[in-house]
Structure 1
């Protein structure tokens, strides 16, 4: 299926069409209350719908920064900005703290300090990790973009000057929204964005708790879940060992890659539990293994 072409290549993969449409629709839906007067009942229904639609928006951005959805740099930048506005985590933040942080063994710079990830899951430890890690995840990429971009003008592996600008654009957007509709921004947008940071840290915790991340054995550094619903919403993030071994692989290829390497993964690191934070009470009661 060829939608359009750039230099003879398809504009996007067939599997990404729905992801692209969702990435374009999500910010529109997210900022809808700024333009429509909603009653309390309508706002409640809107929030439930938003959880269903926008709840996976950050997974979209994660997929996009690893393997851009299209071959158009301009269109990919548009997706970066739109998803960043809707989730509060800019694409530059993801690239600094995740792609060139976590996947390059630099995750401690953007996580809670001195946190033992090799210990088994517990609800208390999970919440402590999320709370303590969300702040360096927010501040760390901004500081690194400033130091590497403004002070040194480093452009590899990413343009850190643009990374600084992109994160400043997000702050400018929030300032403008506060000036326009302060209570809606302070009571809805910012809590949602902080919640996104918190929830992403929870999935990060499930991805690696009880694992030996510093091990030279790549098959013991991550947990995996085969839960169909979680993988459908997250873009197969549950096949996490395969994701670490092949970080540039397209999300649709991860189940196949997992099947190839599964025999090398210790059985204790493979589960069928849904890793969504909505299942946190079940994780505490029943465990995640």
Structure 2
């Protein structure tokens, strides 16, 4: 993906650049899932290779090295059952369901401020994050100086778009569920056409139960706990779009 971006950056122009950027967005969504899984279980044994890989992923997803470790691993995973502490809360102040558009807009804008807030309790990790943030932006700044137009189209705009898409997917996975336990708090997709490009993120309850489990083992864990997940939290909508009214009716039908 990065090689394609570079090829387009140096050799494309005009409408071709815009069309190529739009065509690559679905692939970059899959890169976002890779970035997520990588922050849970690093891809490489050697730390420098992992940080380099995260720089490459940053130029596709907008999530810089160690950013997801702070915001997602330490923040969301530890606190998603507490709506008052989750760095990506889906409830309004009065406890009502936050509209999807508002959740995506607010929480996308708050990703890096939340990283700063969480980082105050993890100073050493936060300092490493800041150093890597500077390093990760060096190639981006260089690209902007060399060819501002192509850098904006092929890197900056997709990076911002991926953050919005990431939060939209998170809303679909969690909003309108429950806070009682892992089995009540995540929406799952069992379809292969969702789990192949998302690297098994559809098995989301299993992922939250054991976030350090390698993504390839999530289907097995999901099969073991499937009977404990309420039926209304298994969806066949690959965009994780759902209607609150329909959700409530399904919950009532599933209640004894």
Once superposed, what is the RMSD of the aligned Cα atoms? 2.8
The TM-score with structure 2 as length reference comes to 0.83
Question: Structure 2 CA distance, aligned partners of 1:225 and 1:114?
Answer: 22
Q: 1:33 aligns with which of 1, 8, 11?
A: 8
C-alpha deviation, 1:246, in angstroms: 0.8
Alignment check: 8 A CA contact 1:148 1:161 kept: no
Higher relative contact order (CA 8 A, sep 6+): 2
Asked if 2 retains the 8 angstrom alpha-carbon contact of 1:112 and 1:132, the reply is no
Match of 2:44, SS state, is coil
Conserved 8 A contact 1:117-1:209: no
In structure 2, the residue matched to 1:182 is 148
* Distance in 2 of aligned mates of 1:143 and 1:33: 37
> What is the alpha-carbon distance in structure 1 between the residues aligned to residue 21 and residue 94 of structure 2?
34
CA–CA separation in structure 1 for the residues paired with 2:118 and 2:227: 39
1:274 aligns to 2:238 (yes or no): yes
**2:179 is the alignment partner of 1:204:** no
Report if aligned partners of 1:118, 1:209 keep a CA contact under 8 Å in 2: no
Distance 1:69 1:117, change over 3 A: farther
Tell me whether 1:51 sits opposite 2:25 in the alignment.
yes
Cα distance in 2, alignment partners of residues 35 and 148 from structure 1: 42
Q: Counterpart in 2 of 1:110?
A: 87
Give ranges in structure 1 of 5+ residues lacking alignment.
Answer: 1-25
Q: Structure 2: give runs of 5+ residues left out of the alignment.
A: 251-256
- Distance in 2 (alpha carbons) for counterparts of 1:117 and 1:64: 36
Shift of 1:273: 1.5
1:47-196 counterparts in 2 under 5 A?
47-105=21-79, 108=85, 110-111=87-88, 115=92, 125-142=99-116, 144-145=118-119, 147=120, 154-155=123-124, 159-196=125-162
8 A contact 2:195–2:201 mirrored in 1: yes
Q: Against the structure 1 CA distance between its residues 53 and 114, is the aligned structure 2 distance closer, same or farther, given a 3 Å change threshold?
A: closer
- Which whole-Å CA distance do the structure 1 matches of 2:220 and 2:101 have between them? 32
Q: 1:36-70: CA deviations, max 9, x gaps?
A: 13352x33552344124323111111011111123
Distance in structure 1 (CA, Å) of the matches to 2:48 and 2:246: 44
In the alignment, which residue of structure 2 is the partner of 1:15?
A: none
Aligned-pair distance for 1:188? 4.3
Normalized against structure 1, the TM-score is what?
0.74
What SS is found at the alignment partner of 2:106? helix
| Structure 2 partner of 1:248 | 212
SS at structure 2 position matched to 1:91: coil
Number of positions where the alignment pairs a residue of Structure 1 with one of Structure 2: 244
| Residues 218 and 144 (structure 1), Cα distance of their counterparts in 2 relative to 1, 3 Å cut | closer
Checking the alignment, whether the CA contact within 8 Å between 1:142 and 1:167 is kept in structure 2 is no
What residue in structure 1 maps to residue 198 of structure 2? 234
